[in-house]
């Protein structure tokens, strides 16, 4: 069976999900929506993707963009919609279009958990999304926390986690957000990330804090995990090394910063954007003291959720084998 997919919202996440779908043999990209004219729509048109508009053809015709229809036409041709619009718009679209037209929809982490039946990270709870109509991919930060904490919990058992998120101020293309010269604490305790982790891993006791910094490249997390069994540094490194979608990076090879990770990702040459969807953990940044485990991880916010979208599409359309889906996705996206 080939799954027919429409993408609503063609920005940072939407364009990457579209490219990932084009690499899957069991999926077909029906088309994307355009909201206003911009370079992304221009390139999509040049690449002959089918473009649908929620706001009328007249916005696009002056620029030679071929519009196939409106959002309802896209829904009619699709088995599932991947909604990649900015936060809160996904929920509005659900009420306005997806419920009334009875189409399955996948939402992103900017939406509140109640937009969907399940919050999803493939290697943690794939089976919970089987045949569901509405699923939410959790945010880039929550995805990163879930991938590594799930592995630790299975091996050592987790008593409690304390984690600080050092967040990039904006995506690299974004000229509107910041800060450009400040460190901004998030004065919400716990930050929303801890509760969000529990939408996927309900048994993890986790307390998170966050701050934003003047960088666009990646997020960083510093974690302290109280384990039930005593962890060793070598054991934890081995665990991370064999866990999918986690990549060890090392200071000894001069990867000392998020800037160097992003350059390393480009040099790996695995995809056209220089994305690194794996969660990157510094080998030299893993430490253990009695039952406490410390580590530092970097998250490429624009790409870590892309494989999750692909696996969630399979789960929602009844593909039962989580491991097989993850392997297929990894192979097609050329990731670990
Ligand atoms: P974006 O601003 O890059 O892209 C959103 C796209 O949706 C834009 O192309 C915009 O024109 C379009 N759009 C806006 N309103 C629309 C509407 N009513 N109908 C159709 N299209 C509309 O946003 P993004 O960064 O891709 O974020 C999308 C979702 O993914 C959000 O929930 C966000 O929280 C989540 N997310 C973002 C990141 C990230 O770092 N950028 C990481 C993980 C998850």
From 84, 140, 146, 280, active-site residue: 140
Separation between Cα atoms, residue 91 and residue 145, nearest integer Å: 24
Separation between Cα atoms, residue 275 and residue 311, nearest integer Å: 18
Task: Give 176 Cα–ligand 1 centroid separation in angstroms.
Answer: 14
Separation between Cα atoms, residue 315 and residue 327, nearest integer Å: 14
| Pocket probe mutation, ligand 1, options 52, 53, 81, 85, max atoms within 8 Å of Cβ | 85
**What is the per-residue pLDDT for 57?**
87
Instruction: Report residues of the chain scoring pLDDT below 50.
Output: none
Q: What is the DSSP letter of 213?
A: E
Task: Give 147 Cα–ligand 1 centroid separation in angstroms.
Answer: 23
**What is the per-residue pLDDT for 211?**
98
Q: Which residues line ligand 1 (CB under 6 A)?
A: 8-14, 33, 35-36, 54, 84-87, 89, 108-111, 139-140, 171, 301-302, 305
User: Cβ contacts of residue 333 below 8 Å, gap of 6+?
Assistant: 20, 23, 270, 271, 277, 306, 307, 310
Strands, E assignment, the chain: 3-8, 27-34, 51-53, 67-69, 80-83, 104-107, 118-120, 134-137, 158-168, 184-185, 206-213, 219-227, 246-249, 279-282, 287-289, 292-299
**Which atom of ligand 1 is nearest to 108's Cα?**
32
140 in active site: yes
User: Cβ contacts of residue 221 below 8 Å, gap of 6+?
Assistant: 141, 144, 145, 163, 164, 165, 166, 296, 297, 298, 299
């Amino acid at each position: 069976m080939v799954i027919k997919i429409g993408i609503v919202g063609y920005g940072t996440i939407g364009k990457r999900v579209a490219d990932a779908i084009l690499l899957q043999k069991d999926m077909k990209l029906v088309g994307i929506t355009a909201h206003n004219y911009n370079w992304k729509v221009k390139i999509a048109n040049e690449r002959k993707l089918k473009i649908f508009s929620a706001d009328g053809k007249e916005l696009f015709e002056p620029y030679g963009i071929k519009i196939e229809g409106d959002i309802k036409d896209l829904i009619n041709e699709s088995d599932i919609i991947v909604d990649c619009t900015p936060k809160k718009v996904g929920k509005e679209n659900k009420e306005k279009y997806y419920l009334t037209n009875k189409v399955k929809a996948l939402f992103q982490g900017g939406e509140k958990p109640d937009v969907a039946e399940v919050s999803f990270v493939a290697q943690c709870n794939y089976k919970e999304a089987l045949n569901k109509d509405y699923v939410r991919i959790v945010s880039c930060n929550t995805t990163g926390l879930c991938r590594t904490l799930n592995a630790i919990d299975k091996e050592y058992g987790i008593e409690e986690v304390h984690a600080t998120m050092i967040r990039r101020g904006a995506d690299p293309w974004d000229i509107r957000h910041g800060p450009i010269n400040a460190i901004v604490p998030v004065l919400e305790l716990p930050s929303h990330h801890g509760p969000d982790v529990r939408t996927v891993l309900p048994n993890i006791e986790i307390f998170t804090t966050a701050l934003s910094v003047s960088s666009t490249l990646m997020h960083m997390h510093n974690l302290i995990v109280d384990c039930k069994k005593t962890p060793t540094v070598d054991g934890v490194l081995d665990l991370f090394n064999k866990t999918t979608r986690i990549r060890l990076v090392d200071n000894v090879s001069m990867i000392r910063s998020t800037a160097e990770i992003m350059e390393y990702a480009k040099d790996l040459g695995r995809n056209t954007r220089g994305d690194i969807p794996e969660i990157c953990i510094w080998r030299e940044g893993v430490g253990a003291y009695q039952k406490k485990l410390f580590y530092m991880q970097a998250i490429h916010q624009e790409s870590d959720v892309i494989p999750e979208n692909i696996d969630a599409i399979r789960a929602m359309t009844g593909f039962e084998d989580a491991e097989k889906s993850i392997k297929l996705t990894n192979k097609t996206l050329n990731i670990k």
